[in-house]
Structure 1
Amino acid sequence: MSVSVPLVLLMGVAVFIALRHLGLRLWQAIVCTLFGFLLAATALAPDIRHVLNGLLDLATNR
């Protein structure tokens, strides 16, 4: 995925805004992060990456 670093930065900004302004608690953000790491180690990781690539292709080809 060629836009992985900008996408990670965008998601980091979204989490920061959620922590700061939307009432997301730190423990909830940590649980979501751990879930993401564990999900990346499953057999679903390639399918999730494929869906994300498809969505990014749709967004950039418009």
Structure 2
Amino acid sequence: MALSISATVLLGVIVFVLLKGGYVRVGSMLACTLFGFTLAATGMAPAINSGLASLAGLLASFN
């Protein structure tokens, strides 16, 4: 059985768990979130998306 979830949902769950577990504070979480949004507006966004797609393809090939 193949399970398919988006990277956004997976990363959101990881952030939530880290926040609830006390590993990350709210201020740090907000700073990282804002950094992600500003990084998405730069020229690096296509390279990051391509890298994430390649990683997802690699992980999917391990079935």
TM-score range normalised by the length of the shorter chain: 0.7 to 0.9
- Give per-residue Cα distances to partners, 1:4-48, cap 9 Å, x unaligned: x62111111100110011421001000000000000000010001
TM-score by length of 2: 0.85
Flag the structure with larger Rg. 2
Gaps of 5+ in 2: none
Stretches of structure 1 that go unaligned for 5 or more consecutive residues are none
Aligned residues: CA RMSD: 1.4
Task: Give the fraction of aligned pairs with identical amino acids, expressed as a percent.
Answer: 39
1:28 paired to 2:28: yes
Displaced runs of 4+ in structure 1, greater than 2 A? Answer: none
Measured after TM superposition, the shift of residue 58 of structure 1 is: 0.2
Please give the per-residue CA displacement for 1:37-62, whole angstroms capped at 9, x wherever unaligned.
00000001000111111100000011
Match of 2:38 in 1: 38
In the TM superposition, what are the counterparts of 1:2-21 in structure 2 within 5 Å? 6-21=6-21
Determine which structure has the larger helix proportion and give its number. Answer: 1
Q: Distance in 2 between matches of 1:14 and 1:22?
A: 12
TM-score computed with the length of structure 1 as normaliser: 0.86
